[in-house]
Amino acid sequence: MDSLKKSFSFILRNRTGKIWVALTAIAALFEGFVPFILVWITKSIFDLVAKALRTSQSDLYLHAIWMLLLFVLINLLAAAIRFMNEFYTQKTQSRLDHDLEYLLIKKVANDPISNFDIPDYHNHFSRLQGSVGNKIILPVQNIFATLKQTISCVTFICYLTTIHWSLVLLAIVSCIPLIVMQFKLVRVRFFTNLYQTPLFREINYLKYLLTARENVKEIRIFGLANHLLNKWSEKYLNRASEILKVQTKQTMLKLGVEINSALIYLLATSTLLLMTRANFITFSIGDFFAIIQSVQNLQHSFNELNSIFSKIYESNMYVSDFQNFMKNDQEKSTQRDIKTLSQPLTKGIVVDKLSFSYGQGKTPVLENVSFEIKPGEKVAIVGANGSGKTTLIKCLIGLYPVSYGSIYINGIDINEISKADLRKNITVIFQDFIKYHFSIRENIAIGNVDAISNLDEISRVSQLTGIHEYINVLPDQYETKLGNVLTEGIDLSGGQWQKIALSRALFSDGQIIVLDEPTSSMDPLAELDIFNSFEALVSEKTAIFISHRLAVSRIADKILVMKAGRLVEQGTHEELMKKEKEYYSMFMAQAKWYEKDKSGVA
Ligand SMILES: Nc1ncnc2c1ncn2[C@@H]1O[C@H](COP(=O)(O)OP(=O)(O)OP(=O)(O)O)[C@@H](O)[C@H]1O
């Protein structure tokens, strides 16, 4: 019932939906009576013609023609209503497809990032793909279809009861085995889909590995195509065979319906003939036709009702699935988001005893981390692979909720700052930043889309990151399209892409700038340039950057040294070198490498 209400509320949101509901209701009422009316008219025509043949009364023929005309008119009217209804069904469905897909995408785009680490979340989302509008419309459509078939059943039952009750009983009893089978089949269909979703996603993933541009190089180099293709094929065929099993059951059910109809026809006709022979009832040729047609129609309506009920059950399961997905985590992301950050920051960032793990019960990735960053300070985070540097910045920028300990930005608990404000004030460029297949101008302006037309500023930040000279000599300069998947564009080297990403970060308005290995793909000279002018680049912003090249961390006001999820040291380069501990060992190990180079031994 709840699902039906939800479907109605989605459909009635706009005018097209309202017209569709009204038309479907009219169509259901009209079409509910039409089968019996048509049977009745045909019976009358048979009787009129039979009488005309017997008595030779010419006006009976005329009467029969009028009845025939009425028959045609009703059929035409039914067709017109059906046509209008179909037109509005498509219109409503297409509108709903857009609106619901919009809601789904919006929800996913705003969901906590931690959801993306949960396979079930992806399975759930993947299950909801396809024509969402059609699936939401179905419960309402089925309700009106029930109304139509109920009217049809009632009219035929009333008519047949006037002949003999056994005819009604015959039609009802014959449907019972099919009803049970149909319900079982619906459950099998829904749960097959449910359990097959992970497999379906795996098949799509393998297809993506084999066909996406970004994978092509590695797949060729390792000669992986056959291996992956075989894997894809095995899983594809597995899934196809499961689906085929359900389809076979469905076909058997249809066969059952056909056999059932034939048997009922046989039984009804024989019963009628036996009753007539025993002088149990008497009727005209028109009656005979009408009774046989009524039994068949009644049985057809029962089968339809049965199939509609199971569809209602199935479509309700889909709507609940949709509702559950839309409900999840919505509250969490908005619950306490109430405060905003002032400009400029006066208190900086305070991290107090922060511990974090990806999911409940999982091993902590950060443990008891505490430090402070003053406004305008430049901070480097260093440490071995997997020591928790990226995770720390993900928590710092509010991508993952803080479960143990606290993070304060400008004195406000991060959980209480509005997400929108957090995004506005903090700019982040991750190692795996997005390479948008848009123009260079858009790629940079994504840092602050409101200023997309400010070409002067776009060009200024590009000069700072050293990519301007390259762009300036391109035929279309900042309008040059990047990537060549969508249109014929140019591709950039890893370092050039990184300069674009860095320009994007500088173009943003954020007071805090976070860079995860911002120069890892750049050549040593470009990197040196960036860090020599780092002060000018980030000016008075608070800057946090991760780097594996410790020579770079020297420019920082403070260095945080991470090891296995713990903050083991913090201080300036000089302070940490004096301590001769973790940072010192790492720095010396890297320095040695360069010394050897210099002496020519390496
Ligand atoms: N989304 C995730 N789900 C589960 N575990 C994760 C996730 N992301 C990272 N981890 C784990 O957290 C630990 C820290 O990873 P993190 O990316 O923070 O390290 P890092 O110091 O930035 O490493 P690197 O220098 O290699 O980039 C690793 O053991 C990693 O396996």
Atom of ligand 1 nearest to the CA of 517: 27
Residue nearest ligand 1's atom 17 by CA? 390
Better-predicted residue by pLDDT, 314 or 238: 238
pLDDT at 602 (0 to 100): 42
Distances (CA, A) of 546 to 17, 381, 431, 503: 53, 5, 10, 17
CATH 3.90.950.20 is held by the domain 2-332: no
Atom of ligand 1 nearest to the CA of 116: 1
pLDDT at 583 (0 to 100): 87
For ligand 1, the distance from its centroid to the CA atom of residue 120, given in whole angstroms, is: 21
**What is the spatial distance between Cα 544 and Cα 546, in angstroms, rounded to a whole number?**
7
Atom of ligand 1 nearest to the CA of 388: 18
- Per-residue pLDDT, averaged over 477-501, amounts to 81
For ligand 1, the distance from its centroid to the CA atom of residue 188, given in whole angstroms, is: 40
**What is the spatial distance between Cα 162 and Cα 217, in angstroms, rounded to a whole number?**
78
For ligand 1, the distance from its centroid to the CA atom of residue 202, given in whole angstroms, is: 23
Is residue 371 scored above 90 in pLDDT?
yes
Residue nearest ligand 1's atom 16 by CA? 388
Atom of ligand 1 nearest to the CA of 565: 14
Structure ipTM over 0.95, yes or no = yes
Residue nearest ligand 1's atom 26 by CA? 385
Q: How confident is the model at residue 568 (pLDDT cuts 50, 70, 90)?
A: very high
Q: At what angle do helices 2-11 and 58-110 cross, to 10 degrees?
A: 90
pLDDT at 369 (0 to 100): 92
pLDDT at 333 (0 to 100): 46
CB count, 10 Å around CB of 430? 17
Q: Where are the alpha helices (DSSP H) in 493-533?
A: 494-507, 524-532
Residue nearest ligand 1's atom 31 by CA? 386
pLDDT at 351 (0 to 100): 92
Atom of ligand 1 nearest to the CA of 383: 21
- Per-residue pLDDT, averaged over 574-585, amounts to 88
| 357, 389, 428, 566, best to mutate for ligand 1 pocket (most atoms within 8 Å of CB) | 389
**What is the spatial distance between Cα 293 and Cα 171, in angstroms, rounded to a whole number?**
12
pLDDT at 77 (0 to 100): 92
For ligand 1, the distance from its centroid to the CA atom of residue 390, given in whole angstroms, is: 7
Better-predicted residue by pLDDT, 82 or 57: 82
pLDDT at 261 (0 to 100): 72
pLDDT tens profile 351-364: 999 999 887 777 88
For ligand 1, the distance from its centroid to the CA atom of residue 400, given in whole angstroms, is: 13
- Per-residue pLDDT, averaged over 229-256, amounts to 85
The rounded radius of gyration (Å) of the Cα atoms in the chain is 36
Residue nearest ligand 1's atom 24 by CA? 385
Tokens 């009524």 correspond to: 294
Q: What's the pTM?
A: 0.65
pLDDT at 256 (0 to 100): 78
Is residue 70 scored above 90 in pLDDT?
yes
pLDDT tens profile 299-358: 788 778 877 877 777 777 778 888 888 876 544 544 555 777 777 777 889 999 999 988
Which range has the top average pLDDT, 95-104, 116-125, 150-159, 261-270? 150-159
Q: Is 462 helix (H, G, I), strand (E, B) or coil?
A: helix
Burial profile 262-283: b = 16 or more Cβ within 10 angstroms, e = fewer: eebeebbeebbeebeeeeeeeb
Is residue 428 scored above 60 in pLDDT?
yes
Domain ranges of the chain: 2-332, 349-599
**What is the spatial distance between Cα 322 and Cα 317, in angstroms, rounded to a whole number?**
9
Q: What is the residue type of 160? A: L
Atom of ligand 1 nearest to the CA of 117: 1
Residues within 6 Å of ligand 1 by CB = 117, 358, 365, 383, 385-391
- Chain centroid to CA 409: how far? 34
pLDDT at 487 (0 to 100): 67
What phi, psi does 359 have (nearest 5°)? 100, 150
For ligand 1, the distance from its centroid to the CA atom of residue 239, given in whole angstroms, is: 34
| 362, 391, 545, 550, best to mutate for ligand 1 pocket (most atoms within 8 Å of CB) | 391
Residue nearest ligand 1's atom 8 by CA? 391
Token pair in block for residue 268: 């009804």
CATH code assigned to 349-599: 3.40.50.300
Which range has the top average pLDDT, 30-39, 48-57, 583-592? 30-39
Is residue 565 scored above 80 in pLDDT?
yes
For ligand 1, the distance from its centroid to the CA atom of residue 195, given in whole angstroms, is: 30
Q: How confident is the model at residue 189 (pLDDT cuts 50, 70, 90)?
A: confident
pLDDT at 486 (0 to 100): 62
Lowest-pLDDT range of 94-108, 140-154, 175-189, 559-573: 175-189
For ligand 1, the distance from its centroid to the CA atom of residue 358, given in whole angstroms, is: 9
| CA distance from start to end of the chain | 76
Atom of ligand 1 nearest to the CA of 392: 18
Of 489, 381, 454, the closest CA to residue 462 belongs to 454
Better-predicted residue by pLDDT, 58 or 81: 81
Atom of ligand 1 nearest to the CA of 562: 21
Q: Is 475 helix (H, G, I), strand (E, B) or coil?
A: coil
- Per-residue pLDDT, averaged over 118-123, amounts to 75
pLDDT at 595 (0 to 100): 60
Better-predicted residue by pLDDT, 187 or 63: 63
| 113, 118, 122, 358, best to mutate for ligand 1 pocket (most atoms within 8 Å of CB) | 358
Q: Is 432 helix (H, G, I), strand (E, B) or coil?
A: coil
Q: How confident is the model at residue 282 (pLDDT cuts 50, 70, 90)?
A: confident
Which range has the top average pLDDT, 547-551, 582-586, 591-595? 582-586
300: Cβ contacts below 8 Å, ≥ 6 apart = 261
234: Cβ contacts below 8 Å, ≥ 6 apart = none
Strand order in the sheet with 566-571: 426-429, 512-516, 542-546, 378-383, 558-563, 566-571
Pairing mode, if any, of strands 542-546 and 426-429? unpaired
Average pLDDT, the chain: 82
For ligand 1, the distance from its centroid to the CA atom of residue 388, given in whole angstroms, is: 6
Cis peptide leading into 198, omega within 30 of 0? Answer: no
The DSSP string of 377-403 is -EEEEEESTTSSHHHHHHHHTTSS---
Residue nearest ligand 1's atom 4 by CA? 358
> For residue 383, is it left (φ>0), alpha (ψ between -120 and 50) or beta?
left
- Per-residue pLDDT, averaged over 542-555, amounts to 82
For ligand 1, the distance from its centroid to the CA atom of residue 33, given in whole angstroms, is: 67
Residue nearest ligand 1's atom 18 by CA? 388
